Amino acid sequence: MSKRIIISGGGTGGHIYPAIAIANALKMEDPSIDILFVGAEGKMEMEKVPKAGYHIVGLPIVGIKREVSLDNAAFPLKLTRSLLKARTVLRSFRPDVAVGVGGFASGPLLMVASLLRIPILIQEQNSYAGITNKLLARRAKTICVAYPGMESFFAKRKIKLLGNPVRSDIIGSSSKRLEALAHFGFANHRKTLFIMGGSLGARSINESIREGLKALNDSGYQIIWQTGKAYIQTAREAIAQVGSERTKAFDFLYQMDLAYAAADVVISRAGALSVSELCLAAKPAILVPYPAASEDHQTKNAMSLIRQNAALLVTDAYAHRDLIETAIRLLEDPGKQKELKTNIAKLARPDAATEIAHEVMKLID
């Protein structure tokens, strides 16, 4: 009988893509493994996971809004319904191990799994543990983390410092530079700036790029601009107004390996997945942490690089003033690019997904 693994979590790409990377590593370990994903209804995992080739079941769970909201009144009912559906899914699928990657979608599934005595592994991407993972930690057999010092959140005996699992095609993506430039219709002799604000976009970054687009264009740079769905039309209008044929805007990028391969410099939020990808791609980066992230964990993620001179920092509050100037200065400074590239590459953990998959397999009797 084939082994069965259930993987739960989602809400953003920062949870979804590590989950898919773990699933892919498990399949490499044992192609006969049966894997089922569980996410939240209406969230992006319901689209991204099937595109990666896996089946997913949605729960009606929602997150609790931090501000006063009528939406919070529906939380107890949706939580109850999610717990009941999670029990049905678990009893039907009968997994050997339940894996949680964070996000509120993993809460009900892992809670019920622990009550059914199914071994649990948690993967925490950030340098500051998320609420769901903190609540579930005492029920977990193993907790895989990406940053040192996580003993302040989890029992030391459970922790495995393995890094964040990312898409395998990003490893060694620099070798695809010529292919990548051709893919985007770019010239080899020009410098390329890649801007990404995460799977949901980033207002301060997008606004700063829109305001500074003429300066970037006049400097002769090529730009890959991943905007998120909410900003794509505004970005296209800005590009048309400037008349820049060297700027390509996308609401979402599926071929991230080619975007990294083409880039000389990257502007990014400091979500755990983005930081891990930048380390593996070994790209000079300007990080703009999202200040409203829970417990300001993106700033903590960014500082783990800044302290080792492996990236530059621009705060969200001053992005409109400093981001374009910082980007142009870095693009014109090959010495600084080389320094950042060398230092960030030292932080990469290319085998994280495989090592986490090994920990999952250890929990199967």
Q: Are residues 183 and 310 in the same domain?
A: yes
Indicate which CATH number applies to the domain containing 116: 3.40.50.2000
Beta strands in the chain (DSSP E): 4-8, 34-40, 55-59, 97-100, 120-124, 142-145, 159-161, 192-196, 222-226, 247-250, 265-268, 285-287, 312-313
Per-residue pLDDT tens for 319-365? 999 999 999 999 999 999 999 999 999 999 999 999 999 999 999 96
On whether both 71 and 186 belong to a single domain, the answer is no
Binding site feature residues = 12-14, 126, 167, 199, 272-277, 298
Q: Which domain holds residue 250?
A: 169-345
Structural domains counted in the chain: 2
Same domain, 126 and 77: yes
183 and 304 belong to one structural domain: yes
Helix 334-345 × helix 319-331 angle, to 10°? 100
Same domain assignment for residues 338 and 199: yes
Which segments are annotated as binding site for UDP-N-acetyl-alpha-D-glucosamine?
12-14, 126, 167, 199, 272-277, 298
pLDDT of residue 172: 76
Task: Report the distance separating Cα 301 and Cα 328, nearest Å.
Answer: 24
What whole-number percentage of the chain has pLDDT above 70? 95
Do 26 and 160 lie in a common domain? yes
Please indicate, yes or no, whether residues 159 and 219 belong to a single structural domain of this protein: no
Statement: the pTM of the whole predicted model exceeds 0.85: no
Of 22, 16, 37, 103, the closest CA to residue 361 belongs to: 22
pLDDT band at 198 (very low <50, low <70, confident <90, very high): low
